[in-house]
Amino acid sequence: CPKDRFALAEDGEPGLNYLCSGLRQFFAHAERPLKQVIERRKRGLSPEAIMTELRAESLVRWRGVGRNDPCPCGSGRKAKHCCWAQRP
């Protein structure tokens, strides 16, 4: 990512922030889990309860997934090249 991620807007106003492709990819990958955590916090669940729920969902999601199957995160990549090392 470039050191200075600010550009000029079309009207010449400084301070238009943009994300490099790496950060864009990270946020696209992390958006769904982060929204799930936010929703559960709004429901009043404790962080421990949220993590317990997310672990249980992750176990179900990974059930029957092999290394060469599509990753259950939805990236479209093979599991072994995506989230295989982080599986529960």
Long-range contacts of 34-42 (CB under 8 A, 24+ apart): none
Residues 52-71: tens digit of each pLDDT: 998 898 889 899 999 999 99
pTM of the predicted protein model:
0.54
Domain that holds residue 63: 6-86
pLDDT digits (tens, 9 = 90+) for 9-31: 777 777 666 677 777 888 887 88
Tell me whether residue 1 is in a domain.
Answer: no
Residue 39 belongs to a domain: yes
| pLDDT at residue number 39 | 93
* Packing angle, helices 21-42 and 47-62, rounded to 10: 120
Count of the separate structural domains present in the chain: 1
Output the CA–CA distances (angstroms, integers) from residue 58 to 25, 29, 46, 53, in the order listed.
21, 15, 18, 9
In Å, the largest CA–CA distance within the chain is 53
Using alpha carbons, select from 10, 36, 5 the residue that is nearest to residue 23. 5
Look at residue 21 and tell me if it is in a domain.
yes
Strand partners, 6: 17
